[in-house]
Amino acid sequence: MKTAERQFTTISAVPIEPVYGPEDLPGFDPARELGGPGEFPYTRGIHRDMYRGKLWTMRQFSGFATPEETNRRYHYLLAQGQTGLSVAFDLPTLMGYDADHALAEGEVGKCGAAISSLEDMEILFRGIPLGEVTVSMTINSPAAVLWAMYLAVAEQQGVEWSRLSGTLQNDILKEYIAQKEYIFPPRPSMRLVTDTIEFGARHTPRFNPISISGYHIREAGSTAVQELAFTLRDGIEYVDWALERGLTVDEFAPRLSFFFNAHSDFFEEIAKYRAARKIWASVMRDRYGTTSERSMKLRFHAQTAGCSLTWQQPYNNVVRTGLQALAAVLGGAQSLHTNSLDEAYALPGEHAVTIALRTQQVLAFESGVTGTPDPLGGSYFLEKLTLETEAAAKDYIARIDGMGGMIAAIEDGFPQTEIAAASYRYQREVEAGERVVVGVNRFQSEDPPIELLQIDESSAGHQREKLAALRRRRDNDRVRKALDALKHAAEGTENTMPYLVEAVRAYATLGEICDALRAVFGTYQETAHI
Amino acid sequence: MPRPIRVLVAKPGLDGHDRGAKVIARALRDAGMEVIYTGLRQTPEMIVNAALQEDVQVIGLSILSGAHNAIVPRVLDLLREKEMTDVQVVVGGIIPDEDAAALKRQGVAAIFQPGASLEEIVNFIRGAVPA
């Protein structure tokens, strides 16, 4: 007799049966549920030959202090064999404030590179050929402004916009849901995102104007299913807005990209990536009627879970990250960031980031997992988990449809409340010892301190001086005119991108541009729920 | 029956990562305390004013961005200015050891670094507030 048998669950509290077999997959039709690699519904991956044809891009998210220092780190990473760049901006930049703003006090260069003007962007990419290196930029509320700066730097380098390849994160919905770095209210924010998607469709055919992100939703404490469902529903919202703008689905859908977390529960994560591709392919085909394979294929970047890193025994983080990265690769990621062992403390030091990059190189060149696509496909457990993940995510998507879409759901606090409840449940389980975190609630020991990256307090002063000099040197009349024209465009329905490009060319600062938009759009405050 | 302990949980600075602040707020509430959560992007002035108006005994600051050395001393200064030094200030987040020691010298009652248990935080606050 079975009494009080221990429950096994995934980290997201999904029950796991003692054993899985063919009886768990009644009527399972591999042709319908999986297809081959590179075939609808792309459960097994978007390419027939996957990593045999091309490895994932090893793209370490990086940025700290001044653009000068970050530029040096980029040159170092490229020299170490990294294959793409990913820019981290500091909090004032993310919030649309210049380095000399009162609210930037104590924050300049702390969480990323401080970029207040085109001059800073020029320094950030000095000596980096933008026609050859793909660049991802983690920027959301003011994404259109930073992208305009990027386009202006490319122009200075003599690189045609049509040759630029990279990704703008630009996913404002997950900011309201999870990361909370928003400036404007949802609707004007969505208009700016749609402006970039439209502009990209016309001028930068190789650039992803958006990276629809579950990463931050997961970091905020969601389950794997919530991460998947809210992200895909966000994607649907962006598609609806772009169609409303008058674009046809195949003009922009092939350039929508996604970004997922690579968390610690190995099989749950792989199931999540497989379900993501499968659901998105059906959404694009059935909800939007596309017949273009490029529009149906979900391409994604993955980053290992920052929230899983521990302050205690930090070297264990190398192992956690390695396993998470393996899940992302077995799940068919197109690009990957591996966290550094010191990131529970600070932005990564050079030694730590090198180990993180080497982790990917070991996976790519030593582990053998790149030899064949979706090597775990057909596992009873993984297939069952993929089906369950798909069903649970579709259920959430239907609920949000029923609420009138993601903006209405956000305004009701629905995804926020779901995530907070999941995060609290998890913390309670850790507290009760039901979830083991090695080195934290089990197997504790003292660890010698590790060497950390220090952000020089002089960065803020350096940035402020550069800004003061820029404001004296530039043609302030041209700046004023450009900002007035931008405001006028923002008040109407024109695409704001050309006006943003002109404003940054005139060296209007990020803060000045965002102030102009704040004056037109207003700002957003959420109602805080606990 | 003694009056429940009143705590203001605040998220200063530009950072929006509120997972920790929300988990702590819920845990303190479940432990029987009265919790006021300020929401995001509170300046030290807003936080101290809210603490005064809400008549709290404890202010909990959640800071993950590295801006603690600019924010926390300002909160302590304002509490002194307003003669509210009986209000205990606790800080949670990514605070390196040497900064934690310095902030404690300036008057912070406790610093909780990543991995601190909810129980430890609840117990500290119960012990720090006179019944």
In a domain, A473, yes or no: no
Average pLDDT over residues A230-254: 98
B14 located within any domain: yes
Could you check whether the bond before residue A142 is cis, i.e. omega within 30 degrees of 0?
Answer: no
Whether chain A has a CB inside 8 Å of the CB on B120: the answer is no
Say if A27 falls within a structural domain. Answer: no
A415 falls within a domain: yes
Residue with tokens 């550069």: A466
Inside any domain, residue B18: yes
Q: How many angstroms separate the CA of residue B87 from the nearest CA in chain A?
A: 22
Instruction: Check pLDDT > 90 for residue B2.
Output: no
Query: pLDDT tens digits for B7-58?
Result: 999 999 999 999 999 999 999 999 999 999 999 999 999 999 999 999 999 9
Answer whether residue B1 is part of any domain.
no
Query: How high is the pLDDT of residue A314?
Result: 96
Q: Once rounded to an integer, what is the mean pLDDT over residues A242-261?
A: 98
How many structural domains are present in chain A? 1
Query: How many residues in total does chain A contain?
Result: 530
What distances in angstroms separate CA A91 from CA A95, B41, B44, one per listed residue? 6, 11, 17
Cβ contacts below 8 Å, chain A against chain B, sum to 100
A450-472: pLDDT as tens digits: 888 887 779 999 999 999 999 99
Domains of chain B: total: 1
Asked if residue A142 is part of any domain, the answer here is yes
**Is B93 a domain residue?**
yes
The answer to whether residue B131 scores a pLDDT higher than 90 is: no
Rounded to an integer, the average pLDDT of A338-348 is 94
Task: Give the CATH number, domain containing residue A245.
Answer: 3.20.20.240
For B54-120, give the DSSP string. Answer: HT-SEEEEEE-SS-HHHHHHHHHHHHHHTT-TTSEEEEEE---HHHHHHHHHTT-SEEE-TT--HHH
Distance of CA A181 to CAs A358, B17, B70, Å? Answer: 32, 9, 20
- Give the residue numbers in A contacting B (CB under 8 Å), as ranges: 91-92, 94-95, 97, 103-107, 110-111, 175, 179-182, 219-221, 307, 310-312, 344-346, 420, 423-424, 427-428, 431, 437, 440-441, 449, 452, 455, 525-528, 530
Nearest by CB to residue B115, choosing from A220, A310, A346, is A310
Which candidate from A110, A420, A452 shows the least CB-CB separation from B65? Answer: A110
Among the partner-chain residues B27, B67, B97, the one whose CB lies closest to the CB of A110 is B67
Residue A319 lies in a domain: yes
- B70 min Cα distance to partner chain A (Å): 5
CA distance B69 to chain A (A): 7
Which residues lie across from A257 on neighbouring strands?
Answer: A211
pLDDT of A7 reads 87
Judged against a pLDDT cut of 60, whether residue A2 lies above it is answered with: no
Is A229 among the domain residues? yes
β-strand partners of B10: B61
The CATH number assigned to the domain holding B11 equals: 3.40.50.280
Give the structural domain span for B93.
6-128
B101 touches chain A (CB under 8 A): no
Answer whether residue B83 is part of any domain.
yes
Distance CA A237, CA A193 (A): 11
How far, in Å, CA of A392 to CA of A386, rounded?
A: 10
- Whether residue A460 is contained in a domain is answered as no
Model confidence at A1, in pLDDT bands (50, 70, 90)? very low
Q: Which of A91, A423, A530 sits opposite B37 (nearest CB)?
A: A530
